[in-house]
Amino acid sequence: MKSFMLFIALSLSLSAQDRPTLFITPTGDHFEVYLAAALTKKHVPVVLVTDAGSATLVITSIQSPDKTVDGAAIARCAVILFSCGRIVTKETAVQLLKGDIIVWSYAANQKNLKSSAEDIAKHMTKDYFHK
């Protein structure tokens, strides 16, 4: 039993060493905090680092200004839910860089930073890491 537990512990530590290191470029609105939390929550196979020089991957992001959904969407929402209020979304675009090469990019269109970060983490796992 002890050797089995040791094998599991070694397997976990080796898999952590095999994962690429990822640096999240800071943004003015602290989106990097939401993204780091989402990458951890969604079990994206990376090791987060605080120094860009030690990272094999770097992710950068930009956010568009808030935009109100068009009148037709609000009308559909009102018919379905009977009350929607003002619907505001924010588009967040990210690029995953390996050196000077863009290896993956994605744009999320969500209501808040947390939702955008979780959407990005989910798609990064599925599209880039194929898991």
Find the radius of gyration of the CA atoms of the chain.
Answer: 19
The tokens describing 25, both together, are 């470029």
Confidence at 6, pLDDT banded by 50, 70, 90 = very low
H-run or E-run covering 81: helix 71-81
Separation CA 33–CA 61 (nearest Å): 12
pTM: 0.72
pLDDT digits (tens, 9 = 90+) for 12-68: 444 666 899 999 999 988 999 999 999 999 999 999 999 999 999 999 998 876 655
What CATH number matches the domain at 20-128, 3.30.160.150, 3.30.360.10, 3.90.1150.10, 3.30.230.10? 3.30.160.150
Evaluate whether 21 touches 58 at the Cβ level (below 8 Å).
Answer: no
Does position 103 have pLDDT exceeding 60, yes or no?
yes
Domains in the chain: boundaries: 20-128
Confidence at 9, pLDDT banded by 50, 70, 90 = very low
The residues near 129 (Cβ < 8 Å, ≥ 6 apart) are 44, 45
- In 10 A of CB 64, how many CB atoms? 12
